[in-house]
Amino acid sequence: MNDDLDLWGDRVAKPGKPLEAVPSGRKSRRSPAPASEQVQARQRILDAAQLLFALQGFDATSTKRIAQEAGVPQGLVFYYFANKEKILEDLVSERSFLPEMERILRMAPQVQPKEALHELGRRFLAVVTRREAIARILVRESPNHPQVAQRWHQMRESAIDIIGNYLKGAVDLGHLHTAQPDTIARIFLYNLIFAALIDEAVDAEQYLGDVVQTMLEGIVE
């Protein structure tokens, strides 16, 4: 039997197509699963893919392994997703933390820049920590998958835009003196991404404080 196909009762799941009846001259012994069960099965597949992609990467994860982790027949994976690339695409699209990130960053506290940047940094780190698996998938898979790269780019640029707008407001109020708030915002965010996802030896909270202090005080008298 083709590895991409699997029997499910009297039906066969074919890549990218609904389960099709197998001509047998008799009625199927199993009726279609209720809609709620179908949603749960699809979510289990996405949960399994998220875990495995984050732990071992997209290329090292087979659809068979995803099905095993999800506790479903392999053919059911192809009932919901045309191929493994579609699983990845739907995963980063449906489980994006962009809305959550935008919401918390837009609520910049009305305090001095040092305290505000500390708080914005903490909020960003908190979101990445809660959604670490998706964040790691975005970082790891973006070089090889355009749809992931686009999503990751969108999230970075949105965060930079929000932080940059806060810095521009601080400049207008006379709290900061910088001609390049967008560049400062980019440096700030990239350092947070580094601390949260790349260098596990770094104490993210301490690093955040050092970054903010360096940005505001500079390195030259």
Domain boundaries, the chain: 34-88, 98-217
Pick 170 or 56 by higher pLDDT: 56
* Domain 98-217 CATH (choose: 2.130.10.10, 3.30.420.40, 1.20.1290.10, 1.10.357.10): 1.10.357.10
* Domain 34-88 CATH (choose: 3.40.50.200, 1.10.10.60, 3.60.150.10, 1.10.1740.10): 1.10.10.60
Q: Is the pLDDT of residue 13 over 50?
A: no
**β-bridge mates for residue 21, sequence order:** 11
What confidence score (pLDDT) does residue 216 get?
85
What confidence score (pLDDT) does residue 100 get?
84
In this prediction, residues 56-63 reach a mean pLDDT of: 96
Angle made by CA atoms 101, 204, 115, in degrees to the nearest 5: 65
- Global pTM? 0.72
What confidence score (pLDDT) does residue 201 get?
78
Within 13 Å of residue 215, how many CA atoms lie on the same side as its CB? 26
Least confident of 33-47, 115-129, 136-150: 33-47
What is the rounded distance in angstroms from the CA atom of residue 108 to the CA atom of residue 173?
15
Least confident of 20-24, 126-130, 171-175, 208-212: 20-24
Long-range contacts made by residues 132-136, C-beta under 8 angstroms, separation at least 24? 132/54, 132/196, 132/197, 133/50, 133/51, 133/53, 133/54, 134/50, 134/54, 134/91, 134/92, 134/95, 134/96, 134/97, 135/97, 135/196, 135/197, 136/54, 136/197
Pick 21 or 64 by higher pLDDT: 64
Query: What residue type is assigned to position 200 of the chain?
Result: E
What would the two tokens of residue 19 be? 């389960």
In the chain, what percentage of residues exceed pLDDT 90? 40
**β-bridge mates for residue 20, sequence order:** 12
What would the two tokens of residue 138 be? 């975005």
The chain-wide mean pLDDT, for the chain, equals: 81
Pick 5 or 94 by higher pLDDT: 94
